[in-house]
Amino acid sequence: MEREFAYQAVYRYLVGLIEEAERGGQQRLPSLRALSQRMRVSLATVQAAYSLLEHEGRVQSRARSGYFAQVGWLNGRADVSQALPAQPLLERALFAHERRLGRQRGRPVRLLGAPRLREALAQRYTQSSLQYWRGEDVHLGPDVQGVIEILLQALALRGSTVVVASPCCWRILRALHNCQVRVLEVPLDRSGSIDLQSLARLLRCEPVRMVLMPSCLSLPTGRLMPLHAQQQIADLLAAYPVWLLENDVDSELCFSQPPCSRLRDLVDPQWLLVLGSLEAAVGAEAPYAYLLGRHDAVAEAFSQRAFQLAPMRQQAVAQMIYSGEIDEHLARTRVALQGQMEQLCQHLRVVMGTSVDFDMPQGGYALWVRIPSAKMCPSSAAASVDSALQVVAGEQFSLRGGYRQFRMLRWLGGQPDRLVAALQSLIRATTDDTVRR
């Protein structure tokens, strides 16, 4: 088995256990360490497989309890395991760094993993002597959901009220839901700007404790938030003592270089928290998420949790950040994603004409499409997943069940004729469903 595909083998094994749970078997799944020993792979490889399954909604992680199969939780939802672009070349570079580190004998390699990665991320986010971060301000976790759950616990936000820009990443929504957070959604318009009046009303009338906003790029819409909109949000938040959690998970996927100004540059650092992830840049073998924040309660909570992250892999990722390999790869990825998205938009206009409404995105790996006349049935969405086109229902990006007329489309690669055939299949499914209704 090729090492760079090890997490796929673990993924398939776990799918089998989940299917057994669906038939009445054990719902609790093996721990990271137990599965690592059973399949003779690293902890990070097991974590990558679990991360993919969590993206799909087929697995739930529970603090201090482990992983459990989500039997019946997301029946009818499209499989989103392919939602993030694969990074095989960068993953091979990651393994090459690990092998070199493995040949260096002694304890320092293992002891320096987390500190090196935290320091590398701090330097990556530091812009000037006024906007700087230290390694101790960076807190690492196994994935986005784990980091959010620890953050909510540290700031006593479980059960509180949080405002999110909508549509919002399903992983984040589910983490908030798992912590019994009351989520209030404020829509983003087609320009990427927030409905400022709605946000102001919620801050004034509701017991809001935290606001979650995109750093610059909002997925699945693929829109960049204009600078004037960032400034308006910053001015509004200045009047309220609420936490700002800036979602920086997808910012690396802007087709052009990310804007020089981010929301975090305009707000009071006392209330600022930044959420990021290495998965979009490095791939599924480095699913680690991180939080930037200068708050003692947050640092203490992460220290007590003591996530078991592979130290050698962390140091390998840190070396790739310092060497510029990740930035070079991201530059190529942005060009490839933009070209792929332009082709997808072109074919979509030809095949579906005016029956769909969309804008060419400014970043990301998917297209946010409105199909006004249709409400696609779950079976037609599932059929599209097996073709060249992945289709995810818009409801997946809202806890209120909104965006029923929207779909997130992602071209999974291959020849353009396969994409055209998939789009034709999509419009047939839409038409057939409209006739049935």
Q: Which two tokens stand for residue 93?
A: 């570079």
In angstroms, the CA 366 to CA 391 distance is 10
Parts of the chain belonging to CATH 1.10.10.10: 3-69
From residue 241, alpha-carbon distances to 154, 203, 294 in Å are 17, 10, 16
CA 159 to chain centre: 23
CB-CB contact of 195 with 189 (8 Å): yes
Q: What is the pLDDT of residues 263-312, one digit of tens each?
A: 898 999 999 999 999 887 887 778 889 999 999 999 999 988 877 778 88
Please give the pLDDT value at position 72.
59
User: Of 159, 188, 150, nearest to 397 (Cα)?
Assistant: 188
Please give the pLDDT value at position 311.
83
- Of the chain, the percentage scoring pLDDT greater than 70 comes to 84
CA 388 to chain centre: 22
Parts of the chain belonging to CATH 3.40.640.10: 92-325
Please give the pLDDT value at position 422.
83
Say yes or no to pLDDT of 69 above 80. yes
User: Of 201, 84, 101, 183, nearest to 143 (Cα)?
Assistant: 84
CA 288 to chain centre: 11
Parts of the chain belonging to CATH 3.90.1150.10: 337-436
Containing H/E element for 311?
helix 311-323
**Dihedral sign of CA atoms 200, 364, 273, 303 in order:** positive
Q: Which two tokens stand for residue 62?
A: 């529970």
CB-CB contact of 167 with 220 (8 Å): yes
> In this structure, which CATH number among 3.10.400.10, 1.10.3720.10, 1.10.357.10, 3.40.640.10 belongs to the domain 92-325?
3.40.640.10
Q: Running DSSP on this structure, what letter comes out for residue 405?
A: T
Q: Running DSSP on this structure, what letter comes out for residue 220?
A: T
Least confident of 50-54, 188-192, 391-395: 50-54
Say yes or no to pLDDT of 383 above 60. no
In angstroms, the CA 329 to CA 172 distance is 26
Least confident of 70-79, 211-220, 247-256: 70-79
Other CB atoms closer than 10 Å to residue 406's CB: what's the count?
23
- In the three-class reduction of DSSP (H, G, I as helix; E, B as strand; rest coil), residue 321 is classed as helix
Give the pLDDT mean for 312-336. 88
In angstroms, the CA 389 to CA 422 distance is 6
The per-residue pLDDT of the chain, averaged, comes to 82
Please give the pLDDT value at position 4.
39
Say yes or no to pLDDT of 165 above 90. yes
Q: What is the pLDDT of residues 344-361, one digit of tens each?
A: 998 888 887 878 899 999
As assigned by CATH, the class of the 3-69 domain is: mainly alpha
CB-CB contact of 274 with 125 (8 Å): yes
Give the pLDDT mean for 184-196. 93
CB-CB contact of 112 with 135 (8 Å): no
Q: Which two tokens stand for residue 40?
A: 């003779």
Domain 337-436: give its CATH architecture. Alpha-Beta Complex (3.90)
pLDDT class for 91, splitting at 50, 70, 90? confident
CB-CB contact of 267 with 237 (8 Å): yes
Which position has the token pair 């909104």?
402
> What φ, ψ does residue 284 adopt, rounded to 5°?
-70, -20
CB-CB contact of 13 with 39 (8 Å): yes
> What φ, ψ does residue 66 adopt, rounded to 5°?
115, -155
